[in-house]
Structure 1
Amino acid sequence: MKGELKPGEAMPSMRKLAKSLHVSVITTQRAYDDLQRDGFIITVPAKGTFVSTQNQDFIREENLRRIEELLTDAATLGRENGLSLEELQTTLELVYKED
């Protein structure tokens, strides 16, 4: 969701991931099955598992939902503390331009 893994990027094998996370291979297999079912990864026989390119719209929509939730919290907090809409907008612009 954060974009840390790029489309087409190889995923570690289930055994390697299970070992690095200190969990069972069965747990890792369930996670991979869920990710594949939801379209986040694809498995190519004899080649491996890769980050899917097909689910970028879902990821964007989920991130937009998270942004809206955070902005709702910021607006509520601003109103509770007497900030005007203009003050909130100015703060958002400053924060956005920092990076």
Structure 2
Amino acid sequence: MNILLSNSSDEPIYQQIFKQIKEQILKGELAEGQSLPSIRSLAKELKISVITTKRAYDELEKDGYIVTVAGKGSYVATINKEMLRETKMKMIEEKMTEAIDEAKLTGLTLEDLQEMLKLIYEG
């Protein structure tokens, strides 16, 4: 599992961990049922507090991305395919909203954006 932390980010460290693990799960980089590092070993690897790592895992579990089995560890949860699709659509909508806001600031028209999208989509 690859996690990069930024001390200069305004985002708390536990949230950085949460987002990166969530993203790896959604992208399929972490497979359903795959075991995650223990809270202690991840904390040691990232050179952070166990409490910070626990908070990230707690958030992931609360949102249904991982399950924790007492005495055995944490695993990537079985994700509802429809929920996964909705989550991905929401992420795409957020990115498109950002792009549209930038396009408006630049003075691009809807037609300009549609043409760009068509060219990018068709590769």
| TM score, norm. by length of structure 2 | 0.62
Residues 60 and 45 of structure 1, relative CA distance in 2, 3 Å threshold: same
Maintained 8 Å contact 1:39/1:55: no
CA deviations 1:38-60 (Å, max 9, x no partner) are 21111234443111113554443
The answer as to 2:53 corresponding to 1:53 is: no
Gaps spanning 5+ residues in structure 2: where? 1-21
Aligned-partner Cα distance in 2 for 1:68–1:89: 15
The one-letter code sitting in structure 1 at the alignment partner of 2:73 is G
Aligned-partner Cα distance in 1 for 2:71–2:122: 46
Aligned-partner Cα distance in 2 for 1:32–1:82: 43
Q: 1:8 is matched with which residue?
A: 33
Gaps spanning 5+ residues in structure 1: where? none
Residues 84 and 12 of structure 1, relative CA distance in 2, 3 Å threshold: same
* Candidates 90, 93, 99, aligned match of 2:118: 93
The answer as to 2:75 corresponding to 1:70 is: no
Higher relative contact order (CA 8 A, sep 6+): 1
User: Percent sequence identity over matched residues?
Assistant: 47
Count of residues paired in the alignment: 98
Residues 76 and 34 of structure 1, relative CA distance in 2, 3 Å threshold: closer
| TM score, norm. by length of structure 1 | 0.73
